Homo-oligomer: A and B are copies of this chain.
Amino acid sequence: MEANKYLQSILHNEIPLTRAMEISVAHCDSNKVELTAPLKPNINHKCTAFGGSLYSVAVLCGWGFVFHQMKQNNLSGHIVIQHSEVDYKLPVDGEIRAVCEPGDKKILENFIRTYQRKGRARIKLKIKILFNEQDALLFSGHYVAHK
């Protein structure tokens, strides 16, 4: 199965709310994970995306990135979010699009090496929600993977 379809099936099967939110995996490879969700099921009273939905798409984008990295390295385990900071910059009145694309390969290599050695590792990821090519939300999350 393609990586994006596989990640989407994991999200939809294991977190039922992602189906209500209609989250899709638009892109999934070792460099980038991109999730989208339509506005309608995630709308708020101002006809923009609900802040909790924006957060959920962002936190799952980072979770999916870690999940994919581990799978690529034939590793399995639990991945949990431990800490996050969020800045809401602009309202989103259309499709929600979250992107995790760390760039720095060393951070990923350290994460995988630590997990292989200790069965537990931590990674800090930045995720953006983009709207009209601008940053609508900046998310920083500390994820922990453990056996």
A: which residues have CB within 8 A of B?
10, 13-17, 20-21, 41-46, 50-53, 55-56, 59-60, 78, 80-88, 91
Question: A80 touches which one: B15, B20, B21, B51 (CB < 8 A)?
Answer: B51
- Given A20-B20, A85-B85, 5 more A-B residue pairs with CB atoms under 8 Å apart are A17-B20, A17-B50, A55-B55, A55-B59, A84-B86
Copies, count: 2
In this complex, the member of A14, A17, A56, A80 whose beta carbon has the largest number of chain B beta carbons within 10 angstroms is: A17
In this complex, the member of A41, A60, A78, A86 whose beta carbon has the largest number of chain B beta carbons within 10 angstroms is: A86
Q: Check B59–A52 contact: CB distance below 8 A.
A: yes
Chain B contacts for A91, CB-based, 8 A: 80
* A13 and B46 alpha carbons, distance in the complex (Å): 12
Q: Chain B: which residue is nearest A63 at the CB level? A: B51
Q: How far is the CB of A33 from chain B (nearest CB, A)?
A: 16
Question: A17 touches which one: B16, B52, B84, B88 (CB < 8 A)?
Answer: B52
Name 29 interchain pairs, CB-CB below 8 A, sorted by A. Answer: A13-B45, A14-B44, A15-B43, A15-B44, A15-B45, A15-B50, A16-B43, A17-B21, A17-B41, A17-B42, A17-B50, A17-B52, A20-B20, A46-B78, A50-B56, A51-B80, A51-B81, A52-B52, A52-B55, A52-B56, A52-B59, A55-B55, A80-B91, A83-B86, A84-B84, A84-B86, A85-B85, A85-B86, A86-B86
